[in-house]
C-alpha cells in the first residue's frame, strides 16, 4: 500500500516547478500569475507522497468577476496514474467552488477531443457540453500555440460545464469519499493508495462540510 496526501498548495513555486518538471502537450500554457492566484485562493490542489508533489490541478478565472470558472491544468505523474486522481481533483475543485465562491458559479473545463481519458473522467462526473462558451472563455485562443489554423474551430478544445444537479452529485460523492479524513483509491495494477486529507480544509472543516452537505442534498440553493 502507498501512502500520500491531498491538500491545497500553499506556495506558488511548488506548483510551478511541478509543471515545469514535465511539460505535457495536453496542458495549455498559462501565465504564471494565474497559478499564483489559484494558490492564493487555496484552489490549487496537490497530491503527493512524502515531500514530493505527484499530481496537481487548479481552479482558474476566465476574467474578472465572471459567474464561471475553469477547472484546468490537471497533471498526474506516471507512478500515480490509474488511481482516479483526475476524478478526485474534479470533485475537490467543484466542492471548493461551491463552498468558497458559491453554487451560482458554474464549473467549466476545456478538453482536447483527442484526450479520451480526460473526456471519460469529465463526463463521469456529470459535465455536459458547453456549446456556446462566452467570448471570455476564448480570450486566450489568439495567443495559444495550439490555436486551430483552419476550419470552423475557434479553440483546440471542447468546452464542458457542470449543471447544478450534477454538481450536487459531485459534492455528495466528495463528502462520502473524504468522510474519514483518509481516502483510499486503487489502481488495477498498482494496488492501493491511501491519501491523508486532514490538511485539506474543504474535506475536513466541519462547517464547510455541513454547508456542502446541505447543497448536496438539495436543501440549499
Encoded one letter per residue, x for contact with ligand COA by CB under 6 A and - for no contact, window 13-42 reads -----------x-xx---------------
Rounded distance between C-alpha atoms, residue 14 and residue 135, angstroms: 32
Kindly state the helix (H) or strand (E) to which residue 82 belongs, with its residue range: none
Q: Which is nearer to ligand COA, 26 or 62 (CB)?
A: 26
Q: Is 211 in the site for ligand COA (CB under 6 A)?
A: no
> In 3D, which of 215, 218, 217, 219 has the Cα closest to residue 102?
215
Q: Is 49 in the site for ligand COA (CB under 6 A)?
A: no
Which listed residue (9, 69, 92, 111) binds ligand COA by CB under 6 A?
111
* Least spacing, CB of residue 2 vs ligand COA, in Å: 13
Q: How many residues bind ligand COA (CB under 6 A)?
A: 20
* Least spacing, CB of residue 76 vs ligand COA, in Å: 4
| Sign of the alpha-carbon torsion through 145, 94, 116, 22 | positive
Chain-centroid distance of CA 208 in Å reads: 18
Q: List, in sequence order, the alpha helices (H) in 55-200.
A: 85-100, 116-125, 164-177
The 10 Å Cβ neighbour count of residue 200 is 24
Rounded distance between C-alpha atoms, residue 51 and residue 156, angstroms: 35
* Least spacing, CB of residue 8 vs ligand COA, in Å: 18
* Least spacing, CB of residue 117 vs ligand COA, in Å: 4
Helix crossing, 116-125 with 85-100: angle to 10°?
A: 50
Which listed residue (36, 41, 49, 81) binds ligand COA by CB under 6 A?
81
Which listed residue (9, 71, 76, 197) binds ligand COA by CB under 6 A?
76
Q: Which is nearer to ligand COA, 39 or 85 (CB)?
A: 85
Amino acid at each position: 500500500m502507498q501512502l500520500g496526501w491531498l491538500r491545497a498548495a500553499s506556495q506558488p513555486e511548488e506548483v510551478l516547478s511541478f509543471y515545469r518538471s514535465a511539460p505535457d502537450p495536453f496542458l495549455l500554457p498559462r501565465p504564471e500569475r494565474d497559478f499564483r492566484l489559484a494558490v492564493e485562493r487555496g484552489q490549487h490542489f496537490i497530491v503527493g507522497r512524502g515531500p514530493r508533489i505527484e499530481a496537481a490541478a487548479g481552479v482558474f478565472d476566465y476574467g474578472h468577476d465572471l459567474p464561471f470558472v475553469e477547472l484546468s491544468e490537471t497533471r498526474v505523474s506516471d507512478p500515480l496514474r490509474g488511481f482516479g486522481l483526475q476524478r478526485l481533483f474534479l470533485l475537490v475543485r467543484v466542492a471548493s467552488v461551491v463552498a468558497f465562491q458559491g453554487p451560482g458559479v458554474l464549473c467549466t473545463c476545456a478538453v482536447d477531443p483527442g484526450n479520451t481519458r480526460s473526456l471519460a473522467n469529465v463526463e463521469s462526473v456529470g459535465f455536459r457540453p458547453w456549446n456556446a462558451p462566452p467570448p471570455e472563455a476564448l480570450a486566450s485562443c489568439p495567443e495559444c500555440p495550439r490555436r486551430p489554423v483552419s476550419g470552423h474551430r475557434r479553440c483546440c478544445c471542447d468546452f464542458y460545464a457542470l449543471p447544478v444537479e450534477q454538481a450536487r452529485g459531485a459534492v455528495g460523492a466528495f463528502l462520502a469519499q473524504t468522510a474519514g479524513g483518509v481516502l483510499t483509491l486503487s489502481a488495477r495494477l498498482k494496488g492501493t493508495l491511501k491519501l491523508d486529507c486532514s490538511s485539506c480544509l474543504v474535506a475536513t472543516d466541519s462547517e464547510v462540510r455541513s454547508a456542502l452537505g446541505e447543497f448536496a442534498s438539495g436543501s440549499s440553493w
